[in-house]
Amino acid sequence: MNRAGLIGFAILSIFFLMAVAPWIFAPYDPYIRFTPYAEPGTDHILGTNDMGHDILSELIYSARASLFVGFVAAILATLLGVIIGIIAGYYRGWIEDLLMGVTDIFLMIPKIPMIIIIAAFLGSGIWVLILVFGAFSWTAIARIARSKVLQIRESGFVLSARCLGFSNRFIMAREIAPNLTHIVFPKFMLLAASAMITEASISFIGLGDPSMKSWGVMLSFAFTKGGLLNGMWWWYIPPGIAISVCVMAIALIGYSREKGADIGVRG
Amino acid sequence: MSRLLDIKNLSVSFVSGEETVRAVTDVSFDLCEDEVLTLVGETGCGKSIIAHAISGLLPPEALVSGEIRYKEKDLQSIPEEERVLLRGCEIGIVLQNPSRALNPLYTIGHQIRETILRHTEKSKEESNRMVAGALRRMGFSDPGIEMKRYPFESSGGMNQRFVIASSTILSPDLLIADEPTTGLDRSRIQDVITEFERIMEEEEMAIILITHDLAVARRLADRIGIMYAGEVVEMGDANRIFEEPYHPYTKGLFGSLPENGCVPIPGVSPPMSRIVSGCRFHPRCGKRTAVCERDHPQLGMIDDRYVRCHLCHSQ
């Protein structure tokens, strides 16, 4: 990992710590009510919001939901993409044509409008967001996984696994899949970043889960409850910075691995 | 000795677009238990296709005709699942390019062990002991260290021996080795030959060895089959053929060896998509006659061997 990757890793670790144990960092419970609309001061470093919640504590507690959505949605999309890509690349023929045709159709569907429509029908919630994001984001991974599998399936160790009498499922899961890690991982990190931004956007336009604390929900309230109009920068700038820095950290890790992606299995 | 493998009139062709590539034409031979048969020929003469046809590894677009009987079972007609289980357990296969035949992400021990776990009910510890035993027999004095290594940490010759170990660990009845020495330098080839000699001595195993290295063939073969353009042109006892080849192609092949003066056969092998009329070797043959250009010779018995040549049959 290069220096940029290490910086990204350090930043992301801090965010992960915040998500796992927010009480270590946060000065208050984010649901305790103080004087609303307080400006930053010694008691509340980033002031309070319309409900009187301490914004710094809210910011720290929000890391959990944002990271959760980002990574769970990315894991879902990656699993789907890798499975579809491996099956298409390994079996080839009509199975490949069918799966890649479906991939092309999914590739055309715009993700955020789709999530807005589905959230409007099914009601908003964190799991709807995760499932819909996962269901519509696997296409890129399926494509790169397939093209790599086409290459790996002709390699000697896959042939010798067939010579040794291993089943197709074993070969796909144990011989081919691990060899995809280095090309799928950077894509996975970028998907996680993209899912976090999607969560923030969806929450911002009011289709998020209002009972949950996430950076997108914070931004949404800052906007709808007058924080933006009244110039309360301590309310809307910190969640924006948190999203940007966290996404940047994830992207840095992803990019740093991408550079090494062409080293690995040859032929 | 009873018969293990019986191949009758095996032909394999590939259709791509308008062209039909006839990779193997009408090859028949049988193999007894404990016998070593070597198939020799130039690149592209169809040797590897025969190996792939026996092991059932041909791509689905290949057209196969003829009969491959293994222990009285027709390998073409048994279901794919049964065939998968035969591979690795009863039929061991060693392919060329050893470094690529091992998955770079697993240790040697893990990869050899997987074969045992796949085909038997043995536990992991038992399998590990079997792997260690096999490696020790191969002359690795400390198998524990070798088993923990990754393929890129070992040399090509060592990797080829690991591949042979995983193909032979379950003592298959038939071992098919497709160019096991290609891409290795002389001393590594020596290691692999030694390994085969050990297997031939210690285990009851029939071996089909496919090679274009005549020195390897001479060291190991009981019987030898010379192939040219998808056909067997001469087949018989290895020592007899090496002493006195009959077919002009075999003579040319031996004549092209460095120790025999390094005289190459003129011309190149014909493309497999356009079959030469008459004898397939006649454009390159120094002794061709009118009949060679007209009629396709049949494989016939002369003395102790089969030869496919008009000239040899008329003498």
Kindly list the residues of chain B whose beta carbon comes within 8 Å of any beta carbon in chain A. Answer: 55, 57, 60, 84-89, 92-95, 97-105, 114-115, 118-119, 163, 166-167
Phi, psi of B4 (to 5 degrees): -100, -45
Q: What is the pLDDT of residue B275?
A: 79
A141-151 pLDDT, tens digit per residue, is: 999 999 999 99
pLDDT in tens, B189-217: 888 888 889 888 888 899 999 988 888 89
Q: How many CB pairs lie under 8 A apart between chains A and B?
A: 67
Which element (helix H / strand E) includes A95? helix A93-108
Q: Kindly list the strands in the beta sheet with B3-16, ordered across the sheet, starting from the edge strand earlier in the chain.
A: B19-32, B3-16, B62-70, B73-74
Give A76-105 pLDDT, tens digit per residue.
999 999 999 999 999 988 999 999 999 999
Measure B3 CA to nearest chain A CA, in Å: 23
Chain B residues with beta carbon closer than 8 angstroms to that of A174: 114
Domains and CATH numbers, chain B: 3-246 (3.40.50.300)
Q: ipTM for the complex? A: 0.74
Measure B167 CA to nearest chain A CA, in Å: 7
- Beta-carbon separation of A165 and B118 below 8 A: yes
Q: Which residues of B touch A267 (CB under 8 A)?
A: 100
Please tell us whether the domain made up of A3-16+52-266 is placed in CATH 2.40.160.100. no
Tokens of B17: 């677009």
Cβ–Cβ under 8 Å, residues A135 and A160? no
What's the burial of A93, exposed, middle or buried (CB within 10 Å: 0-12/13-18/19+)? exposed
pLDDT at B1: 59
Which residues of chain A does B84 touch, with a Cβ-Cβ cutoff of 8 Å?
A: 165-167
Query: For residue A157, which residues of chain B lie inside 8 Å, CB to CB?
Result: 100-104
Question: Which of B103, B118, B167 minimises the CB distance to A175?
Answer: B103
- Show the tokens assigned to A38: 């307080």
Nearest-CA residue of chain B relative to A168? B84
Q: Please check whether residue B99 is in contact with residue B107, taking contact to mean a CB–CB distance below 8 angstroms.
A: no
The domain ranges of chain A are: 3-16+52-266
Total Cβ atoms within 10 A of residue B127? 19
- Is the pLDDT at A260 greater than 60, yes or no? no
Confidence of residue A263 (pLDDT cuts 50, 70, 90): very low
- What is the distance in angstroms between the Cα of A222 and the nearest Cα belonging to chain B? 50
Q: What is the mean pLDDT of chain A?
A: 88
